[in-house]
Structure formats: structure tokens, C-alpha cells
Structure 1
Amino acid sequence: MKLTVECNAINERNTFSNGDVLTGQLIVEVSKKTTIKSLTIKAKGKASVAWTETHGEQQVTYWDEEKYFSQTESILPNENSNGSFTLSPGRHTFPFVVQLPSNDLPSSFKGESGKVKYHLLAQLSRSLRVPSKAKTEFAFVSRPDALLPVAMAPQYGVKDRNVTFFASGNISMNIFLEKTGYQQGEHLIVKGEIVNSSTRKIVPKYIIYQKQSFFAQGNRTVHTSNIVKEKDAALSSSTRQTVSKILTVPWGATPTILNCRILKVEYRLKVILDVSFTKNPEIKLPLVILPACDGAMAKALEACQPQKTNYVH
């Protein structure tokens, strides 16, 4: 006997969101006449974290999990008086329909010390036999409704520093973003001004980095990684430059996750002025990465677009 779970895609990215109806079919292949007691499909979602730390000579593992939903549907037709169903030899297809919860759930994610996972589990039971099982994951992307107020807020930062070691003068920058939230694949335009009033040259660098935070038993572990890293040409001494740097959010970037108790996925834009023999001034601005979307999700984003801002240096 062979049991397989197939899921029908509802968009080109093969993702599902809050309140979506998930459809598919269970494929049962048998080589001889077989009587089935039950055939079910279960949809589940949960997050889990785990990591190990060394304290002296002792290793301690911290872990936690958060369950979101677990719902089971019976998809076996009633044929026999006892509720069983008899299959003839060959391949049989049983369609199923699962309504996903409409509440706010975190997107699918796999990180350094934790994950958010959604899957379908099929189970076929027969008399005096171990149940047959089949499992498949599906990608869940949280609708960005709760993030929209934050995503549409502008961001601004200022930094200046005196250069004193084997040099003199001052370097400064002001950086502006028209909004905080950007979809996967969207261009992010960094605006502002850099002033080099020192006797050294400086190199502007632009980094988008991801911060993963995991929480368990009152402890936290953090992992950071750069997902975009670019730089501009060096600015010579006594130079003023208007900034209009275009960065692209990677398509593969995990959407921001702030709606999970045991893990977070956050992003920052970091602008650095690289100066020799001195501490580099830097500005960090928060970013929200939103999933690439269409339909109702896209209309919600469009309705919340900020008014055009005239930026003044």
C-alpha cells in the first residue's frame, strides 16, 4: 500500500495565508482488495526553538514550543454499515478541503535555533494493521495587516564624529527612508547627505542585516547575518555628497516575524562611514520585510502608502 498527500497551489509562489482554503487530494494505491477503517487529514502549525549553551563544564539546552492549531478532517466515504470503505486494486483519489485559521499566525521559517512549521498529515487505518501515514509541509505567509502601521512610518537618523588620530576635522551624515516596510524584491532608496570635513577619505557602506532572536526558559540567543552589502566610491577630504543609494530586498528574505512568542525575525539598515584609524560612525534604522503579495494584500499595501515627502537636507 502507498499513501501520498498532494496540495493544490493557489498562487504562483505556492504559499498560503490566514483564512485561506487549502485543497488537495490523498492518493491511495493498493495491490489487492483492501478495507479501510478510517482515512483522515490533519493540518498543524507550531513553532519550536532549541539551543545549547556551555556554562563552565556544564552544557545546558534551552527549548520551548508554541502550538497554533491542529484540526483533523475525515475524508472517507460511508460505504459499509460499520463505516468502513473497501478499495479495489489500483489507484484511488480522495479530495480534501481544509480551512486555515483566520487569526494572526507567524510565517513559515527555519532559522539558526528554531523554526515555524506548517504541515499536513494523512493517516489511513485498517484492522489489525499499523496505520499508514504520509506527511507534507506547506509554506505559510502571514498577512501583513498588523505590520502596516509600522511599515509605512518614515525613518531618519543623524550621526557625526570628530577625527583626531593622525588626522583632524569632522565627518557627518544624515540618512532618510520614506518608509520602514519593503516587500521581497522591492527597491529601497536610501536618501540623505554625507559631509567629509576631515583630512581623511571616507567610504560609505550600506548593509541590510537580519537579526534572529530565540527565547526559552527566560533565556535568549541571537544570530545576525548580512543579506545585502554594498559600498560607494570613497569621498575625499572636504567633500559633500547627496545620497540616493538603491538597494534591493532579496526575494528569498524571510518576512519580518514579530507575532511569535518564542522567536523573532527583524531587519536593520546600517549605513557606515569607513574611516581609517578611527571608530566608524554608523546609523541603524529598523526595516520591516513584507511578503511579495497580490490581490487583497496588495490593495491593503497600496491604500497605506505614505504621502509624497519632500526631503530637506
Structure 2
Amino acid sequence: MIFDKLKKFDIVFDSPEVDSPPVFSSGDVVSGRVILELSGDARVDSLKLHAEGFAKVHWTESRSAGSSTAYTQNYSDEVEYLNRREVLLQADNGEVTVVPAGRHEYPFSFQLPEETLVTSFEGKYGSIRYWVKVKLHRPWATVRKIKKEFTVIEPIDINTPTLLATQAGTKDKMARAWYRNFGQVSVTAKIDRKGYTPGEVIPVFAEFDNSTSRSIAPKAFITQTQTFIARGAMKQKHSIVATLCGDNVSAKCRETWHGRAIKIPPVGPSILQCRIIKVEYMLKVCVDVPGTSNLCLELPLVIGTIPLHPFGSRTSSVSSQYSVNLEWMRLAIPEQPEPPPDYCSVVTEEEAEQCNNTAAQQPADDLSGIMERPLLAFVQEFRFRPPPVYCEIDPNPQLCNIRPRCMTC
């Protein structure tokens, strides 16, 4: 039977690195092979490939309709990003194809859409997936299916003016407990840019002003917010991916962070272009105030895939800009000036001889009609004259032993 003859049925993607799975982006060519291994001759109707990519969301919510009744409402939606079909094996006349025993490889290749795709994602209430599905049709047998996913990462270049802009803000609040005021708490924070990549360190510059009669605890978080949208409803999932804790600020005191470092862990890039799924990041600089709600200042972040270019984009501080400028200055200006080229290497012997003959034909003392001669004639006459002799010794040195003249004399 055909079931006994089919030993292997698999999909293998072409990858430059053997141990790592391939990663694609919009416009890339996805290629690979469908491996079919048979223990004997088999009859096959067709072998078809279907490449798909969808963003899907789904969740349920229970609602009460009275004291004793309740119902469940489903929310779901999807967006299609890829849909391509290809026939790998099929007879032209529609008859059954006899595939001999052994190993057979059927290559496939297709190009992803040029328009912007969405990065692959797995969430609690939705996902963005891309896969290749292959169906093997055989007479008098069930259809065999195999499916293999591949990853799509849309590049986000942080070397853009929007993502290189400084993010800063100020926020304050009055600390109250019941009817009593403890004073005002304020926080001011700034980061050098909006775009970062995983593994980078964000230097946080902040100032915490505690005008209350209690100690406060400053801290900073990097949060991830997953937003799922379906049928006008929205579901969100919040998580903290990195934390930075500071020292307590005593009452009537002030604390300053001079670039406290918080490292971005290996998280997925931001997803901002999908209609039903969004992944956003935020840096929250917060203050825990005893007896009342916390004070939080939010600075938006974008996690990209293309890191900051050291020379093509602006750097993170004024000091680094100054050092880069000095390096370029050292490369542009040599330590010792080079002497000018020799006259013989610039003007050939024929040109010099021609210039001398022209000067000999003109009488030196005959100045009659000099005003009638065009200016270009004077320029051409001095064109190939040798320059003054180069010398590194100053011919007119300053005399240091000359006494200054008294104005009263």
C-alpha cells in the first residue's frame, strides 16, 4: 500500500547557516526543498505547496445577563499578509504520475510581498505566523499534509530623526493620606533617544525632588504592552521586562541620577503597523510614596532591529560628539606640513622654454601701449614663472632683543 511506501515527507528551507533557522523580511525570496522518500514505486496525483501568513486574535469574555443567567461572547479577527500557491508535481494531462522508489527532492521558491509585512509574534490572545504547507494527493488514499513555519522580522532602523529624538518629561503630585497633606513629590527624567535595540543600555538621567515628610523610593521599569483588537473591543497584556531600583530619598531631600543604566533584555521588536496586534514598549520612571498612589513618568520606547550607527547618526552625549570631532580633526590635519611640490614636477621643460621665448621677444624697457594689452596677456606671461624657493627657516625672524619704545619719550 501507499502508506507503507512513504518513508519520509518533509520540508527543508535553504539557510546560509546550517544550525540556525532562516529569517526573512518583505521582498526576500523564500526557497527550499520538499523531500519525498519512498520504499517502492508509488502513484501520485499531485504535490502542491501553499504559503500563508496571517495575524489572528481570539479571546472570550463572560458576561452576566441577570441574577441567574450568563453568556460567553467571542472576539476574533484576522489579517492576511501572504497567500501563494504553487504546484510542485502534477502530470500535464491530469493522469496519475508514477514516482519511483528512492529519495526525491522538489525545490520551491517564491518572493514575499514588497509591501511591509509584520514581524512574527506569539501572544496570549493572538499571533502572527507564516508557514509553508505541502499536500500530497494520492489515488485511493487520504491527503498527507505537512506544515513548517518560518520567521519574518521586519527591520526597524533606529537611525532615523524620529527615533533619535530626545525623550524627556516632568511630573509631580501632592502626596495625601486621608485629609492630611505630606507635601509635593516631583520627578524629571530624560533619555538620549527613543529607539534602542535589545542588549543596549539606556542611560537614565533623572531628578527626584522630595518635599514631603516621608522617604520615597525611586525606580525605573521597561514595560511591554501587547494590544489585541477585534470587533471594536480591545484586550491588553502588560509585563515588566527590566527593572532599575534607586536609593531611598529622605524627606526634604533631592536625588539625581547621572545616567543610571538599565539594560534591554532580548525581547522582540516593536510591532506598530498591524491593525489588530500591537507591541509597544515604555520606560517608566516611578516614585513609591508611602500612604498614597505612586508617581510615574512615562517615556515611549521603540525596540528596533538595526542598531545605532556610530558615525552616521548622532551620538548619545555631547562629550562623545566632541571626541568624535577631535578624531576627525586629527585625521584631517597632519602633524607637520608637507613642502610644496618642485617646480620641475609641475611645469614641463617645453612649457618653461616656451614661456622664456615669449618673454625674450617682448622688450623689457618698452612700456608703450601697455594699457592697450589685454589683462589675459599679463596672466599668461606669468603663468609658468617659478614660485619662490621654499625654506623652513623664517627669512624675517622676530627680533626679541628690541626694547619697546616708551610713549612718553
Normalized against structure 1, the TM-score is what? 0.86
Partner residue in 1 for 2:300: 286
Alpha-carbon shift at residue 58 of structure 1 (Å): 1.5
Q: For 1:132 and 1:142, locate their aligned partners in 2 and report how far apart those are by CA, in whole Å.
A: 32
Percent sequence identity over matched residues?
A: 33
- Structure with the greater alpha carbon radius of gyration: 2
Change (3 A) 1:164 1:68: closer
Partner residue in 2 for 1:248: 263
The one-letter code sitting in structure 2 at the alignment partner of 1:246 is: A
Please list, as runs of the form range in 1=range in 2, the aligned pairs for 1:1-313 lying within 5 A after superposition: 1=6, 2-10=8-16, 14-56=22-64, 57-76=70-89, 85-144=97-156, 148=160, 150-163=162-175, 165=177, 168-243=182-257, 244-251=259-266, 253-291=267-305, 293=306, 305-306=313-314, 310=318
Alpha-carbon shift at residue 10 of structure 1 (Å): 4.5
Q: For 1:119 and 1:277, locate their aligned partners in 2 and report how far apart those are by CA, in whole Å.
A: 53
* Helix, strand or coil at the partner of 1:18: coil
Task: Check the 8 A contact 2:56/2:126 in 1, yes or no.
Answer: yes
Q: Which moved more, 1:233-242 or 1:205-214?
A: 233-242
RMSD between aligned residues? 2.7
Task: Check the 8 A contact 1:179/1:306 in 2, yes or no.
Answer: no
Q: For 1:53 and 1:85, locate their aligned partners in 2 and report how far apart those are by CA, in whole Å.
A: 51
Task: Check the 8 A contact 1:256/1:266 in 2, yes or no.
Answer: yes
- 5+ residue gaps, structure 1: none
* Helix, strand or coil at the partner of 2:303: strand
Task: Check the 8 A contact 2:163/2:193 in 1, yes or no.
Answer: yes
Q: For 1:86 and 1:302, locate their aligned partners in 2 and report how far apart those are by CA, in whole Å.
A: 60
- 5+ residue gaps, structure 2: 1-5, 65-69, 320-409
The superposition leaves residues 223-261 of structure 1 with CA deviations (integer Å, 9 ceiling, x where unpaired) of 11111122112122343333122112221x221111111
Q: For 2:95 and 2:85, locate their aligned partners in 1 and report how far apart those are by CA, in whole Å.
A: 17
Change (3 A) 1:129 1:213: same
Q: For 1:31 and 1:9, locate their aligned partners in 2 and report how far apart those are by CA, in whole Å.
A: 28
Q: For 2:253 and 2:222, locate their aligned partners in 1 and report how far apart those are by CA, in whole Å.
A: 26
Alpha-carbon shift at residue 107 of structure 1 (Å): 0.7
Q: Which moved more, 1:30-39 or 1:62-71?
A: 30-39
Change (3 A) 1:276 1:146: closer
Change (3 A) 1:129 1:164: closer
Alpha-carbon shift at residue 192 of structure 1 (Å): 2.5
The one-letter code sitting in structure 2 at the alignment partner of 1:245 is: R
Task: Check the 8 A contact 1:205/1:271 in 2, yes or no.
Answer: yes
* Helix, strand or coil at the partner of 2:270: coil
How many residues get paired? 303
Change (3 A) 1:13 1:37: closer
Looking at both structures, which has the greater relative contact order when contacts are Cα pairs under 8 Å and sequence separation is at least 6?
1
Task: Name the one with the larger helix percent.
Answer: 2
Normalized against structure 2, the TM-score is what? 0.67
Task: Name the one with the larger strand percent.
Answer: 1
Alpha-carbon shift at residue 289 of structure 1 (Å): 1.3
Task: Check the 8 A contact 2:49/2:88 in 1, yes or no.
Answer: yes
